[in-house]
Amino acid sequence: MSIRELDQQYVAPTYKRFPVEIERGAGSEVFDGEGKRYIDMGSGIAVTSFGIADPVWRQAVTAQLEKVQHMSNLYYTEPCAKLAEQLCLRTGMKKVFFSNSGAEANECAIKAARKWAAEKHGPECHLIVTLENSFHGRTLTTLAATGQDHYHELYQPLTPGFVSVPAGDLEALERIVNTGRVAGLLAECIQGEGGVLPLPEGYLRAAAKLSREKEFLLMVDEVQTGNGRTGKLFAYMYEDVQPDVVSTAKGLAGGLPLGATLLGERVQDVFGYGDHGSTFGGNPVCCAGALSILNRLDDALLEEVRRKGQYLRERLACGKGVLEVTGRGLMIGIKTSRPAGEIVAACMDRGVLCLTAKDRVRLLPALNIPMELLEEAADILLDECGK
Ligand SMILES: *Cc1c(COP(=O)(O)O)cnc(C)c1O
């Protein structure tokens, strides 16, 4: 049987896969089973921060692999401790809980808010407010947090205690906060799965101020926007706010599964022994990969991400058939007159892998994608948008 047939027979069909089998890659180029080359403008959905099999990242990962590949969290390991230190030093956050995915990073954020608020205000204060059109993961609790009804239908009953309000609507947020029952607000700075839609300017700052006055937690879901993706280490850094909780995953370890929940000053002591845990969380190989990624996300690299993002946005904005370009850094959404799915399929035929988000084309290339590849991909994408 071919790979495609095997997969179709034995893998649960939860993914509508493209008819391509990716065999290997190098940087921002990947190759299928027949040797056809593609420019990777999706990075495995913002995961392979420095592309496929990046040599520096690979060296860090394999060096750790040769020392110890896993240890129980009952023992100390160097990569985990050093990564937590770096994450805190670079963000002003105080403590880190490591898990394995974005959904789990958000689960931890929600648990932190529930426990913190119950201790501070009592058990009635347990609501988590999220934003309409948001995406926070696929577990039953993070589905409840996800502000899109169509994700909820199949799996009732979901975890109770979630309310979503329109993104950008401060009055709606204040109304729900004034019930005295809100433990925290969980929001993406730029809604990724929702269509690459940034929060309106100033909303996060106003929400941060409100969270201080009314004593609830400001939690940002940086699973997709984090780790340099938008041209800052984390997207909240554009807004001059200090969140209480930051969750991240996707690009954190450059292609290995790792989630992190960063706890700020107000919640740094919320978890004690036995309050939360994960067998694989903080795995030394994943943490070694993440440390190598984080070390390279310096000012020069972040500046490069902003510059390349600006180049792409400017070129795309004046393209034929392009209605709107949104996003920041190398997280870009494109509203097109031609259906996004059609454009993505046509680009794939021509050797460019793009993504969609809702009705838009979405681009999430590696942060170090060479300019020539970016230009080549933009040429093909623009040509297809204009058809
Ligand atoms: C992808 C994503 C998640 C879920 O991450 P998983 O690793 O798939 O669990 C959560 N929040 C946001 C904003 C995401 O983009």
What is the per-residue pLDDT across 61-116, written as a single tens digit (0 to 9) for each? 999 999 999 999 999 999 999 999 999 999 999 999 999 999 999 999 999 999 99
pLDDT value, residue 310: 98
Quote the pTM value.
Answer: 0.98
Domains of the chain: 3-54+298-385 (3.90.1150.10), 68-294 (3.40.640.10)
Q: What pLDDT band is residue 255 in, cutting at 50, 70 and 90?
A: very high
pLDDT value, residue 279: 98
CA atoms of 224 and 301, how far apart (whole Å): 18
What is the per-residue pLDDT across 145-168, written as a single tens digit (0 to 9) for each? 999 999 999 999 999 999 999 999
> What's the CA angle centered on 8, arms 5 and 12, to 5 degrees?
155
CB 83 within 8 A of CB 287: yes
The number of the ligand 1 atom at minimal distance from the alpha carbon of 222 is 13
pLDDT value, residue 315: 97
pLDDT value, residue 295: 98
> Which residue puts its alpha carbon closest to atom 6 of ligand 1?
102
pLDDT value, residue 144: 98
Q: Ligand 1 centre from 374 Cα, in Å? A: 25
DSSP codes, 200-242 = PTTHHHHHHHHHHHTT-EEEEE-TTTTTTTTSSSSGGGGTT--
For ligand 1, whether the C-beta of 364 sits within 6 Å is: no
Q: Ligand 1 centre from 34 Cα, in Å? A: 32
* Nearest alpha-carbon partner for 246 in 231, 227, 230: 227
pLDDT value, residue 121: 98
Question: Ligand 1 test: best mutation among 250, 278, 286, most atoms within 8 Å of CB?
Answer: 250
| Mean local confidence (pLDDT), 138-145 | 98
For ligand 1, whether the C-beta of 103 sits within 6 Å is: yes
pLDDT value, residue 59: 98
